[in-house]
Chains A and B, each alone.
Chain A
Amino acid sequence: MKVAVCAQDGSLDAAVDQRFGRCPCLMLVDTENMQWEAVPNPGANSSGGAGIQTAQFLVDRRVEAVLVGRIGPKAMSVFQRAGIRVYGDIAGTVRETIDMYRRGVLPLLLEANSPTHAGMEEGRSGR
């Protein structure tokens, strides 16, 4: 399973970061063989719409699940529409969080757990 974890730095022993749109680093990990890649979060320095930018990036990278702390409604709607599962309650290091994910301990999020930072609406279909 290809999962993305919000992290403060680019290594399996780095601490996770609770802020989805603004975490400095995204760790893309294949949970089957623990091969990983660290990428800077494109949303981290964004003026606005950071969560959307990060979400779009992960959709383009074809991740299958995302492990987060707090995530807002806009980014959440991107993942929901793309069929990408979002899990919450990340803690400790990236390695520890992946372990919790594999053991089925992380809750599946059905909606955003953080209020939006701009505007008051979720994304809607372009049509």
Chain B
Amino acid sequence: MIIAVASGKGGTGKTTVAASLALSAAEKGPVQYLDCDVEEPNGHLLLHPEWRQSRPVTVFVPVIAREKCNYCGRCAQICAFHALAVLPEEVLVFPELCHGCGGCRYFCRQEAITEGKREIGRLEKGLAGSIQFVHGRLRIGEAMSTPLIEAVKENAAPDILTVIDAPPGTSCPVIKTVTGADFCLLVTEPTPFGLHDLALAVKMVRELAVPCGVVINRSGKWDHLIEEYCRREQVPLLFRLPADREVAAAYSRGIPAVAARPEWKTRFLNFLASLEGKDRCAS
């Protein structure tokens, strides 16, 4: 079972919820934690994995064989991203603009282009207690995150609970992360910011046909903003985590919420039980 944890807005507590979910579930059975927020992976700061493996993740980049090239300029014309410039006696490649579509290689009539590799980031795996931990770290300034996200997701194993921490927002990398999940937890804060961005996130998840539910983090007297929205849109409001200065301070020291407040584990466990219940009913 794959549960993605997402949020329309950054800073609502997505990683807090994902890490606490994984820790709560780990008491009942095997769990994986896949951190797909490859631009700013933060899960390891709460789960403290012992690192076991690290490998580079690469994407295609064109390599031009000068002796075969006749400087016809076709590759530069074809390239939708302007990653190539053809001069009278030279071809320039701008690797970080390259999206790896392979068009230049396919259309070159001289067969002068071969596939090279460019590192976009690293895939790292470890063990956090009994939790199998995987994250991707994107190179600073790198625009292509999708291949790294897919490399992280490939580690999802069957017959195990997989918690995926998605990047914040609703853009392409988030879509790639949430696609294929069995359920998506949407974390929000009870403010106009949280509400506005939750609406965007719900729209996104519905377009992906992934069932979802809402968790209110830093819950308090403004919860009604979210409650009203959930009622109107018929989105299940699953549970709340109260605003708690101690928990915020603990987070800053790398201590997950359920370690600071162990009684909160029941909320996560009840949520998992309700999912499993639905699962059993469906099959």
Contacts and interface: CB of A to CB of B under 8 A. Distances in A.
Interface of A: 46-50, 52-53, 55-56, 59-60, 74, 77-78, 81-82, 118-121, 123-127
A124 B243 CA distance: 52
A48 to B, nearest CB: 6
Contacts of B87: 59, 78, 81-82
Contact of A118 (B76, B90, B96): B96
B122 to A, nearest CB: 18
Given A59-B87, A126-B91, A121 B82 contact: no
A42 to B, nearest CB: 10
Interface of B: 62-66, 69, 73, 76, 81-88, 90-97, 141, 143
18 contacts: A47-B81, A48-B97, A52-B83, A53-B82, A59-B85, A74-B94, A78-B85, A78-B92, A81-B90, A82-B87, A119-B94, A119-B141, A120-B96, A121-B95, A123-B94, A126-B92, A126-B93, A127-B63
A119 B182 CA distance: 35
Contact of A56 (B62, B66, B76, B143): B76
Contacts of B96: 118-121
Given A49-B82, A52-B85, A77 B92 contact: yes
A74 B81 CA distance: 13
A81 B71 CA distance: 14
Given A78-B85, A127-B64, A127-B66, A118 B92 contact: no
Nearest to A52: B82
Contact of A48 (B82, B86, B93): B82
Contacts of B83: 49, 52
A49 B86 CA distance: 14
Q: Give the interface SS of chain B, mostly helix, strand, loop or mixed.
A: mixed
A46 to B, nearest CB: 7
A53 B93 CA distance: 13
Contact of A125 (B82, B91, B97, B141): B91
A126 B81 contact: no
B62 A126 contact: yes
Given A78-B85, A82-B87, A123 B65 contact: no
A55 B93 CA distance: 13
Contacts of A118: 96-97, 143
A78 B64 CA distance: 16
Contacts of B81: 47-49
Contacts of A81: 87, 90, 92
Contact of B93 (A50, A56, A124): A124
Which one of B65, B76, B92, B143 has the highest number of Cβ atoms from chain A below 10 Å of its Cβ?
B92
Which one of B69, B87, B88 has the highest number of Cβ atoms from chain A below 10 Å of its Cβ?
B87
Given A55-B85, A119-B97, A124 B92 contact: yes
Given A56-B76, A74-B94, A81-B87, A46 B82 contact: yes
A52 B84 CA distance: 8
A119 B143 contact: yes
B95 to A, nearest CB: 7
